[in-house]
């Protein structure tokens, strides 16, 4: 993997007009800009947008992205619909889920459970749960342990169907 | 993450609030590496988003509809122009003189001038990072 940051981040405003329709406005900022500075600049635009449009600005989001400039080839037979579902316990007693698309057969047990003793699975769990990890539940509660981990299939969408599936004349 | 057929799927998580963007991306890329060891898919793109909901909210004051987009065009020192579409710009701000009356927004309108000035003087850049030097024109476009 060789990830490189995009040259810019994206700021998207969500607007609501008097009919209830939503609209978006998108601007770009240098990728090195801190989140605090982006929010300060965005706050300055909010009243200006509301004056221009008569819409209410519901909020905005700032995104920072990075892409792999030299991606490896996916494994033969990999399918994103074949997921590894990890359910984590949170400090507030609720749970949080994370899906890994294309889970490898080599990390699965016979009954479809994920082998948490597998060294690569253990490394993944450590990256999520460890004290230095920044990952949290959606309500910012600490992730404390894994509750369950198993294989889970999602329906194939129309776009994911094989392109040559009508080759038999049916 | 992308599989052998070229199909993509997302892996989502939530982060500790106020995590700096660079630290967040570093850990997310590290997690992507750990995930790629247990997945046949390859990570191709990662991103972190910071969201703000504005509270309390006032009702829309009216005058513009979301389908009316004001397309603001800005120039830079290079030949690349930056376009910022703004949903819902009021039609009352359209110019009523000149060749493009009712299609081009009046640049001397106080709200048009304030917005375009803020874009030029602020942190904002083009999609490839080029600085925005000046406001050129804003015109009306209807979207679905």
Phi and psi (nearest 5°) for A35?
-60, -40
Q: Among partner residues A25, A76, A154, which is closest to B85 by beta-carbon distance?
A: A25
Average pLDDT (A27-48) is 95
**Quick check: B29 contacting A, CB < 8 Å?**
yes
pLDDT over 80 at A164, yes or no: no
The per-residue b/e assignment along A73-90, b for 16 or more CB within 10 angstroms, e otherwise, is: ebbeebbbbbbbbbebbb
| A residues 64-103 closer than 8 Å to B (CB) | 64-68, 71-81, 83-84, 96, 98-103
Let me know: does B142 contact B69? Beta carbons within 8 Å. Answer: yes
pLDDT band, residue A167 (cuts 50/70/90): low
Q: How far apart are CA B47 and CA B52, in angstroms?
A: 17
| pTM, two decimal places | 0.88
Q: How far apart are CA A116 and CA A146, in angstroms?
A: 9
Average pLDDT (A130-146) is 90
Q: Among partner residues B1, B23, B45, which is closest to A102 by beta-carbon distance?
A: B1
Q: How far is CA B27 from the centre of its chain?
A: 25
pLDDT over 60 at A7, yes or no: yes
Q: How far apart are CA A67 and CA A5, in angstroms?
A: 6
Disruptive mutation site among B66, B90, B117 for chain A (greatest number of A CBs within 10 Å) = B66
Q: Which residue has the tokens 């979207």?
A: B143
Let me know: does B85 contact B72? Beta carbons within 8 Å. Answer: yes
> Over pLDDT 70: what percentage of chain A?
98
User: Which residue in A63, A60, A68, A62 sits closest to A15, CA to CA?
Assistant: A60
Q: How far apart are CA A103 and CA B35, in angstroms?
A: 9
The residues pairing with A90 across neighbouring beta strands, listed in sequence order, are: A143
Residue A66: its chain B contacts at CB < 8 A? 25, 29, 45-47
**Quick check: B117 contacting A, CB < 8 Å?**
no
Q: Is B139 left (phi over 0), alpha (psi -120 to 50) or beta?
A: beta
H/E element, A68: strand A56-68
Who's near B13: CB < 8 A, 6+ residues apart?
A: A98, A128, A135, B31
Of residues B136 and A161, more confidently modeled: B136
**pLDDT (tens digit, 0 to 9) for every residue of chain B, 144 residues total?**
999 988 899 999 999 888 999 999 999 999 999 999 999 999 999 999 999 999 988 899 888 888 999 999 999 888 789 999 999 999 999 998 888 888 999 999 999 999 999 999 999 999 999 999 999 999 999 987
Predicted confidence (pLDDT) per residue in B11-46, tens digit: 999 998 889 999 999 999 999 999 999 999 999 999
Q: How far is B100 from chain A (nearest CA, A)?
A: 20
Q: What is the structure's pLDDT at B49?
A: 96
Average pLDDT (A92-107) is 94
Q: How far is B137 from chain A (nearest CA, A)?
A: 15
**Quick check: B56 contacting A, CB < 8 Å?**
no
pLDDT over 60 at A170, yes or no: no
Who's near B69: CB < 8 A, 6+ residues apart?
A: A23, B85, B86, B87, B88, B89, B140, B141, B142, B143
Interchain pair B66, A23: CB under 8 A: yes
Structure tokens belonging to residue A113: 């459970």
Residue A60: its chain B contacts at CB < 8 A? 51-52
Average pLDDT (A130-148) is 91
**Quick check: B57 contacting A, CB < 8 Å?**
yes
Interchain pair B15, A135: CB under 8 A: yes
Interchain pair B47, A63: CB under 8 A: yes
Q: What is the 3-state secondary structure (H, E, C) of B55-112?
A: CCCCCCCCCCCCCEEEEEEEECCCCCEEEEEEECCCHHHECCCCCCCCCEECCCCHHH
Q: What is the structure's pLDDT at A156?
A: 80
Q: What is the structure's pLDDT at A169?
A: 60
- Average pLDDT over all residues of chain A: 91
Who's near A40: CB < 8 A, 6+ residues apart?
A: none
């Amino acid at each position: 993997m060789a990830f490189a940051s995009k040259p810019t981040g994206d700021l998207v405003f969500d607007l609501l007009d008097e009919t209830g329709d939503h609209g978006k406005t998108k601007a770009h900022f240098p990728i090195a800009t801190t989140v605090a500075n982006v929010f300060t600049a965005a706050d300055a635009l909010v009243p200006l947008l509301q004056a221009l449009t008569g819409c209410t600005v519901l909020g905005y989001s700032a995104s920072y992205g990075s892409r792999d400039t030299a991606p490896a080839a996916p494994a033969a037979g990999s399918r994103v619909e074949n997921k590894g579902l990890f359910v984590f316990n949170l400090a507030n007693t609720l749970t949080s889920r994370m899906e890994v698309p294309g889970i490898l057969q080599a990390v699965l047990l016979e009954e479809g459970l994920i082998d948490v003793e597998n060294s690569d699975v253990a490394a993944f769990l450590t990256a999520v749960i460890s004290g230095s990890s920044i990952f949290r539940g959606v309500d910012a509660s600490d992730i404390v342990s894994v509750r369950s981990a198993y294989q889970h299939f999602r329906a194939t969408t129309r776009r994911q169907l094989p392109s040559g599936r009508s080759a038999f004349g049916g | 993450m992308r599989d052998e057929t070229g199909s993509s799927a997302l892996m989502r998580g939530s982060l500790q609030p106020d995590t700096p963007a660079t630290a967040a991306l570093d850990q997310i890329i590290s997690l992507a590496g750990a995930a790629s060891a247990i997945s046949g898919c390859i990570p191709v793109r990662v991103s972190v988003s910071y969201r703000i909901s504005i509270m309390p909210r006032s009702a829309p004051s009216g005058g513009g509809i979301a389908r009316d987009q004001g397309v603001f065009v800005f120039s830079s020192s290079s030949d690349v122009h930056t376009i910022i579409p703004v949903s819902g710009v009021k039609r009352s701000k359209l110019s009523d003189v000149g060749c493009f009356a009712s299609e081009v927004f009046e640049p001397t309108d106080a709200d048009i001038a304030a917005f375009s000035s803020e874009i030029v003087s602020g942190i904002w850049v083009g999609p490839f990072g080029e600085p925005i030097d000046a406001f050129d024109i804003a015109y009306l476009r209807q979207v679905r």
